[in-house]
A and B are shown apart, each in its own frame.
Chain A
Amino acid sequence: MRKFICIQCPLGCEITVEGEKIEGNRCVRGKEYVMQEMKNPKRVLTTTVFIENAIHPMLPVRSNGEVPKELLKECMKILAGVKVKAPVKKGDVIYKNILNTGVDIIASRSMERK
C-alpha cells in the first residue's frame, strides 16, 4: 500500500493506493493527482525573472501547466538568465515551451514602465 497527501487544494486529503483501489480522496482531482504521482510526478513552478524599467527589479512568473518534478532545477537555471523589459501584462508569455515540456512560463502580474 502506498500513501499520498493530495496537494491540489488546502484540504490535503490522505489518499491510499492498494492495487487498483484508490481511497481517501474527496474529489476527482485527488484521484488524478495520485495516478500522475505514481507515473511521473509533476509540479507548477513559480519563480521570478529580472525586469528592467519597472517598479521592482524582479517579475514574478509561473508555469501555465505542470512540469516534471525532476526538471524543476533545470527550469530554474534557464530562467535565471532571462531578462525582460517593462511594460508586462499578467499572462504574457515570458519563456515558451520550457525544456520541450509544452509548458510556457508566464507573467504572474502586470508591471508598468516606470
Chain B
Amino acid sequence: MKTDVAVIGGGPAGLAAAMEAKKHAKVTLIERNEELGGILQQCIHHGFGNFIFGEALTGPEYAEHFIEALEGVDVLLNTTVLEIDKNKRMLLSGPDGVFEMEAKAIILAMGCRERTRTQIFIPGTRPAGVYTAGTAQRLINIEGVMPGKHIVILGSGDVGLIMARRLTLEGAKVEGVYEIMPKPGGLTRNIVQCLHDFDIPLHLSHTVVEIVGKKRLEGVFVAKVDKNFKPIEETKRFVPCDTLILAVGLIPENELTKKTGIELDSVTAGPVVDEGMETSMEGIFACGNVVHVHDLVDDVSLSAIIAGREAAKHANGEKTERRKIKVKAGENVRYVVPQIINGRDMEEITFYFRVKNEMRNVVTRLIVDGEVRKEKRELIVKPPEMVRLKVKGELVKNANSISIEVKKVA
C-alpha cells in the first residue's frame, strides 16, 4: 500500500491534520478505534471550539465538524501502526491482518494517555473501584455504566473537575476532590461550574495516601501535605467511598516515536519539533497532545493544521531550510514548543509555553539575537494554563539565537 501522507491517530489532531493535508496530497488516516474522534466522543461536556468556531461546542460536535470535512481521505479503522522505519515504511495491523504501507510523509497524532495508580505510587490493597478519570468517563458517557456511588476524586485538573460534575448529575455522591498542589490544576471556570455549582469540596495540598478494601474499595486515607508534598501523619483521616477516580495527569503517547528513534524532549515527553511541526526525522511530523499536553482542543487542531500543510509540502517534494536554531526557555519559562526554528517560510508562528511560577502583570517576550522583538502583556500567568505568543515568521526566520521569557512589569 502506498500513500502521500499517512496520519496516525483519528482524534482531534489527526482529524485536523488529515483535513488540511488532503487539500494538497493523497492522505490515509489510521485509527485503532472502531470510529473517529478519539477522546472527543466521550467528552460530552461543552466548551470546545471557542477560539476556532467562536462558540462552545461539545466534544462530539467538535469531532463531527472535522469528520464531515474528510471526504477524499482514506480512513482505516480498527487499525494500529506497529512500526515505522526511517524510510517511512510502516507495519500495520488491521481487521485483515498485518500489512505494510509506504508514505512520503507521516504525521504522528497519537495523543496522550492517563497516568495511573502505579505511576503515582499509592500504597494499599488492589480492590475494584479504582479508575482513571478517562475510563470512568468512557463507562458513563459511552457505555452507560456508572462506576460507583460514593466517589473520591484525586487530582483537580480539568478531567477530574468535569467528572465530579458528571458523576453528581448522574446521581453519585462526590465526597471531595483532593489536590496535592496548593492551587487547583484545572481552568478556573471549571472550578466554578463543576465544583461550586454542586457544592463539591476541593481540598488543596491534600493527597490520597492509602487505598483500603478487599474485593471492592471501602475507602481511602487522605492527608494534608507539607511544602515538599510529604503527607503530614497527624492529618491522616479515613474517607469511606466505593470509587476512587484518578485524574493525575496525562503523558504524551510516544512508544512508537521512541521506537522509531525520533528525538524526544525530556520536559514535554513529546518529540522535539520545528515551526512546521517536523520531528528530528525528516518527513515525520507530529501534532497535538503527542507533542505536549494542551489545555484546549482548539490549539491541538491549530498545530495539526500546520503539520498537515507542511507534511503535504514534504510529500510533494518541496525542500525546506534546516537551520536548527534552538528556542531557549528563558526566565520563568518551563518549556517552549516549537523547540527548533529551521527558517521555514511561515507567515506567523505561535510559540506555546508554560511558566514555572504564577505571576501577575507580566510581559511575555520574544528575544531574537539579544533584542526584544515582540512583547505581550498578560494579566496573569499560571503553570496549569498554557501561554501563547504569536509572532510574524520573518522575525525568527534568519535568527541565530531565540528565547522566550516572562518578566514582571515594573
**Within 8 Å of chain B (Cβ to Cβ): is A69?**
yes
Q: Count A-B pairs with CB separation below 8 Å.
A: 82
Could you give, for residues 135-157 of chain B, a 1 whenever the CB lies within 8 Å of some chain A CB and a 0 otherwise?
Answer: 00000111110000000000000
**Within 8 Å of chain A (Cβ to Cβ): is B191?**
yes
Instruction: Please determine whether A9 and B169 come into contact, CB atoms closer than 8 angstroms.
Output: no
Interface-forming stretch among B42-50, B122-130, B284-292? Answer: B42-50
A22–B21 Cα distance when bound, in Å, is 46
Which residues from A are CB-within-8-Å of B187? 10, 12
Which residues from B are CB-within-8-Å of A8? 56, 189
Whether A48 contacts B56 in the complex (CB less than 8 A), given A10-B295, A57-B143, comes out as no
Instruction: Please determine whether A108 and B197 come into contact, CB atoms closer than 8 angstroms.
Output: no
Instruction: Please determine whether B191 and A108 come into contact, CB atoms closer than 8 angstroms.
Output: no
Which residues from A are CB-within-8-Å of B189? 5-10, 12
**Within 8 Å of chain A (Cβ to Cβ): is B75?**
no
**Within 8 Å of chain B (Cβ to Cβ): is A16?**
no
Q: B residues 11-46 with Cβ under 8 Å of A? A: 34-35, 41, 44-46
A2–B191 Cα distance when bound, in Å, is 17
Interface size class of A (residues with CB under 8 A): 20 to 34
> Among the listed B64, B197, B295, which residue makes an inter-chain contact with A109, where contact means beta carbons less than 8 Å apart?
B64
Instruction: Please determine whether B144 and A73 come into contact, CB atoms closer than 8 angstroms.
Output: no
**Within 8 Å of chain A (Cβ to Cβ): is B61?**
yes
> Among the listed B35, B50, B58, B296, which residue makes an inter-chain contact with A108, where contact means beta carbons less than 8 Å apart?
B58
Which residues from A are CB-within-8-Å of B94? none
> Among the listed B63, B143, B192, which residue makes an inter-chain contact with A7, where contact means beta carbons less than 8 Å apart?
B192
**Within 8 Å of chain B (Cβ to Cβ): is A35?**
no
> Among the listed B140, B143, B197, B296, which residue makes an inter-chain contact with A43, where contact means beta carbons less than 8 Å apart?
B197
6 closest Cβ contacts across the A-B interface? A109-B60, A12-B188, A60-B44, A7-B189, A12-B189, A58-B144
A6–B169 Cα distance when bound, in Å, is 21
Residue of B nearest to A110 (CB): B64
**Within 8 Å of chain B (Cβ to Cβ): is A90?**
yes
Q: B residues 41-76 with Cβ under 8 Å of A? A: 41, 44-47, 50, 56, 58-61, 63-64
Residue of B nearest to A60 (CB): B44
**Within 8 Å of chain B (Cβ to Cβ): is A21?**
no
Instruction: Please determine whether B170 and A5 come into contact, CB atoms closer than 8 angstroms.
Output: no
**Within 8 Å of chain A (Cβ to Cβ): is B357?**
no
Which residues from B are CB-within-8-Å of A108? 44, 58-61
A66–B26 Cα distance when bound, in Å, is 43
Whether A46 contacts B61 in the complex (CB less than 8 A), given A7-B189, A10-B295, A58-B142, comes out as no
A62–B62 Cα distance when bound, in Å, is 13
> Among the listed A5, A7, A43, A60, which residue makes an inter-chain contact with B60, where contact means beta carbons less than 8 Å apart?
A60
A6–B189 Cα distance when bound, in Å, is 6
| Besides A44-B56, A62-B44, 19 new A-B residue pairs in contact (Cβ under 8 A), listed by A number | A5-B188, A5-B192, A7-B189, A7-B193, A9-B56, A12-B188, A12-B192, A43-B197, A44-B46, A46-B44, A47-B170, A55-B34, A56-B144, A60-B60, A72-B169, A108-B60, A109-B60, A109-B61, A110-B64
Instruction: Please determine whether A58 and B143 come into contact, CB atoms closer than 8 angstroms.
Output: yes
> Among the listed A9, A76, A109, which residue makes an inter-chain contact with B170, where contact means beta carbons less than 8 Å apart?
A76
Instruction: Please determine whether B44 and A56 come into contact, CB atoms closer than 8 angstroms.
Output: no
A7–B46 Cα distance when bound, in Å, is 11
**Within 8 Å of chain B (Cβ to Cβ): is A95?**
no
Instruction: Please determine whether A62 and B169 come into contact, CB atoms closer than 8 angstroms.
Output: no
Which residues from B are CB-within-8-Å of A110? 64
Which residues from A are CB-within-8-Å of B191? 5
Whether A60 contacts B141 in the complex (CB less than 8 A), given A7-B189, A9-B56, A109-B61, comes out as yes
